[in-house]
Amino acid sequence: MPRRLTVILLLVYQAAFLNVFIPAHTRGQFTLDDREPSAARLSSGGCCAPHSSGRTPADHTPTPADRSNCAVCFLAAHYTPPPVTELRPEPHGFAHLLPPVGVQAPVTLALPLPYHGRAPPAGA
């Protein structure tokens, strides 16, 4: 599959999942765990046993405990990254403007040199 098509399909999937499915889901319809000890679950026939109340999982009405343990909300909270914080400093202008400095005539000092500038006598 070409890379461009893969990227487009991924963006369409993310847009549909994050903007349609997550806001419209019934909170608590899918939960992370049963909040029931594993021994009680095994004694009731396990996960594949028919429901004794005659209700199907599609008829499940979420309880407040289910709503606080929603798997879709958990996935969305860990799937969606937090907003990016911009740490760049704001552009600053000048604190204040100084008046232009006037040009002055250079001052020279007559400094005595530490040597007399004579070379040693040239030997023949």
Q: Is position 65 within any domain?
A: yes
Q: Is position 70 within any domain?
A: yes
Least Cα distance to 73 among 35, 27, 33, 29 occurs for 27
Q: Is position 121 within any domain?
A: no
What is the separation, in whole angstroms, between the first and last Cα of the chain?
Answer: 94
Number of domains in the chain: 1
For residue 82, what are its two tokens?
């937090």
The predicted model gives 77-86 an average pLDDT of: 79
Q: Is position 75 within any domain?
A: yes
Note down the domain range covering 73.
25-46+61-83
Q: Is position 51 within any domain?
A: no
Q: Is position 35 within any domain?
A: yes
Q: What is the pLDDT of residues 39-59, one digit of tens each?
A: 544 555 545 555 544 445 556
Residue 34, pLDDT score: 56
Residue 100, pLDDT score: 87
Please state the length of the chain. 124
pTM strictly above 0.95: no
Angle value at C-alpha 28, between 23 and 32, nearest 5 degrees = 110
Q: Is position 69 within any domain?
A: yes
Q: Is position 79 within any domain?
A: yes
